[in-house]
Structure 1
Amino acid sequence: MENSRQASIKRNLAIRARVIQAVRRFFIDHDYLEVETPCRIPAPAPEAHIDAEAADNWYLHTSPELCMKRLLAAGYPRIFQVCRCFRSKERGRRHLPEMTLLEWYCAGHSYLDMMDQCEDLIRFTAKQTGLGNVIVYQDQSIDLKARWDRMTVAQAFDKFASMSMQSALASNRFDEVTAVEIEPHLGRTKPLFLYDYPVSSGALARLKPDDRSVAERFELYICGLELCNAFTELVDPAEQKIRFEHEQTVRRLSGKNVSPMPQKFLDALQYMPEAAGNALGIDRLVMLLADTNKIDDVVAFTPEEL
């Protein structure tokens, strides 16, 4: 037998298979339709800090979001997908340029409903993977059974950061301070939802009706590991176009490639119902359940091995 990395991660790949099987079982049991959408598209969602990989004058999708929302607009109220997604220049201990993403949408739900469902999904997946209500990650015991913590981004800055959220935004250091000073503290003993992001960090999310300075977006953290990104969907095509144009301007001023406006998505958005959506990194979830802090340990092949 070849003495390779692949031979050393058999346990982790078995966990990975059980995780994906459990995810499918969860959504099928909750009356979701599994869908497949193209991974090569003419125009991705313009986002300032996510770079799509070019593919013969089109792009490999960074997420299946635009096509899945068009299915919502066409009358599919509960859909999910497990697929490969591609993000240029993303490589690190927790990042791969080609990753596996779980994305799901539910008409009539808000980001608060999505938090509850996210709890149910991960508890179910941990159980189906052979773990109980308490998991151990990097010598830290995590209680999945108790109600998970929720904290606004502003509260997290006040508690953990060296400056306020507004100061970080004004100095263009929001992402840096969040990653370095806040994220390591999140979800240390039980999972934590970090929610209500500033408008500038929620290009496709609905603004909060009683506080339009923040978007109805959350991320889930367990032991400092970010697992998902979710929000109440923005369904106003005029506002969405303005948001996209802003993201394109930021990209242009940064010297980055600017992809075409996804006009067919904007055209469909007027028919989309109120809904919530969530994108969860399967690789990250397997890292958590396999108790490893390196994404290479949970994939069959890394880019460098090909």
Structure 2
Amino acid sequence: MTVNIPAVSPWWRPENHQDRRPFLMLRGRIKAAIRAWFEARDFTEIEAAALQVSPGNEAHLHAFATEAIGHDGRRTALYLHTSPEFAAKKLLAAGERRIFDFARVWRNRERGPLHHPEFTMLEWYRAEAPYETLMDDCAALLALAAETAGTDAFRFRGLACSPFAEPERLTLADAFDRLAGIDLLATVEAGGGTDRDGLAAAAAAAGIRVAADDTWADVFSRVLVQKVEPHLGVGRPTILCEYPVSEAALARPKPADPRVAERFELYACGVELANAFGELTDAAEQRRRFEAEMAEKQRVYGETYPIDEDFLDALAIMPAASGSALGFDRLAMLATGASRIDQVLWTPVAGA
């Protein structure tokens, strides 16, 4: 096995640090303003433990594994969490009503201008609140970040977005129709069943390359990335909502249309900033979805992660709730005018 030595990352050289320091100072001011915003609305700040028995059970999320060694030498597998979600929902089950966390999280196989293996996830949850309330929260946080940074526009890769404009609310079905000419829901059934061949044919007709072994989810993702995402959050933010149930493993189905789930993502300048759910609280259905996700992970990557049985137990007594995960570093990037995520990280992880 070949082991690569991480490349030198001289962020600590004085000349490099001085270039980055204005971004870092603004990052701190934005974080303080957001913390005050939540506290003014009776939210409690939590600190979810990073070490968990399961890092999450989504097929395409990759974790960092470690182990705990007991005083008797016994070894227990643990993971650095990819999100504080499981811990936060356990706290909702325990009786917390409004919580938020600036959580350090870790995701493997992710590195680039918008990705870093260790980053800050701002997550917040509202018990007994509809997920549309989180849409309003997201709009308020964009405006707050911009106001704190002293900017009237977010800009990234030639695109501009007003963080003070009311976000456009766009369903996945409308986005696929408008931007790719595809009738997405014609390939989706209530309960999560999908028509792979129907979507593949529609995607091919729209000029999307489709491989013989692509699943429905593969084709869906390719259309989303190539045809839809580049046009989101241009001029004003976009809230992309009502994802097919099969693409929302932790979200509850929408009562008016069980083919889609109460999930939305927030975009500005083509950049995904937040992912939010009306939370699924059916433990049996959640187990089924986790098992399906892990079967897909095994098929694609040859590995799986454990299911957190405590989490499923907690769902049985967790109140109805909505929650959102926002990439705080990405928000700081857009608000400060940085062009890469490592410009707003105090101590970037060494690597290529």
TM range (shorter): over 0.9
Match of 1:85 in 2: 105
CA displacement 1:5-32 (0-9 Å, x = unmatched) = 3221111101111111111111001100
SS in 2 for 1:9: helix
Name stretches of at least 5 consecutive residues in structure 2 with no aligned partner.
1-11, 68-76, 188-198, 201-214
Match of 1:270 in 2: 316
What is the correspondence of 1:239-250 to structure 2 with a 5 Å cutoff?
239-250=285-296
By how many angstroms is 1:257 displaced?
1.9
Aligned residue among 38, 50, 53 for 2:64:
53
Aligned residue among 138, 141, 148 for 1:118:
138
Match of 2:347 in 1: 301
Q: Which amino acid is the alignment partner of residue 250 of structure 2?
A: L
Query: How many angstroms apart in 1 are the aligned matches of 2:264 and 2:220?
Result: 15
Q: Do 1:102 and 1:281's aligned partners in 2 also have CA atoms closer than 8 Å? A: yes
Match of 2:256 in 1: 210
**Taking structure 1 as reference, are residues 236 and 155 closer, same or farther at Cα in structure 2, changes over 3 Å only?**
same
Please say if 1:100 is aligned against 2:120. yes
Please say if 1:222 is aligned against 2:268. yes
SS in 2 for 1:101: strand
SS in 1 for 2:267: strand
Query: How many angstroms apart in 2 are the aligned matches of 1:41 and 1:170?
Result: 31
Name stretches of at least 5 consecutive residues in structure 1 with no aligned partner.
none
What is the correspondence of 1:63-212 to structure 2 with a 5 Å cutoff?
63-131=83-151, 134-138=152-156, 140-161=159-180, 163-165=182-184, 166=187, 167=199, 170=216, 172-212=218-258
Query: How many angstroms apart in 2 are the aligned matches of 1:183 and 1:291?
Result: 20
Coordinate RMSD, CA, aligned: 1.9
Query: How many angstroms apart in 2 are the aligned matches of 1:241 and 1:216?
Result: 18
Match of 2:196 in 1: none
Which is greater in Rg?
Answer: 2
Query: How many angstroms apart in 1 are the aligned matches of 2:217 and 2:245?
Result: 16
SS in 2 for 1:137: strand
Between 146-155 and 222-231, report the one with greater CA deviation. 146-155
**Taking structure 1 as reference, are residues 195 and 35 closer, same or farther at Cα in structure 2, changes over 3 Å only?**
same
Q: Do 1:94 and 1:294's aligned partners in 2 also have CA atoms closer than 8 Å? A: yes
**Taking structure 1 as reference, are residues 263 and 21 closer, same or farther at Cα in structure 2, changes over 3 Å only?**
same
Query: How many angstroms apart in 2 are the aligned matches of 1:264 and 1:103?
Result: 20
Q: Do 1:6 and 1:301's aligned partners in 2 also have CA atoms closer than 8 Å? A: no
What TM-score comes out, normalization by structure 2 length? 0.82
Query: How many angstroms apart in 2 are the aligned matches of 1:22 and 1:31?
Result: 15
What is the correspondence of 1:246-257 to structure 2 with a 5 Å cutoff?
246-257=292-303
**Taking structure 1 as reference, are residues 285 and 62 closer, same or farther at Cα in structure 2, changes over 3 Å only?**
same
Aligned residue among 18, 41, 54 for 2:29:
18
**Taking structure 1 as reference, are residues 46 and 281 closer, same or farther at Cα in structure 2, changes over 3 Å only?**
same
Aligned residue among 227, 230, 233 for 2:279:
233
By how many angstroms is 1:248 displaced?
1.2
Q: Which amino acid is the alignment partner of residue 147 of structure 1?
A: E
**Taking structure 1 as reference, are residues 3 and 34 closer, same or farther at Cα in structure 2, changes over 3 Å only?**
closer
Q: Which amino acid is the alignment partner of residue 173 of structure 2?
A: A
SS in 2 for 1:91: coil
By how many angstroms is 1:162 displaced?
5.8
- How many residue pairs match? The answer is 304
Q: Do 1:137 and 1:292's aligned partners in 2 also have CA atoms closer than 8 Å? A: no
Query: How many angstroms apart in 1 are the aligned matches of 2:136 and 2:15?
Result: 41
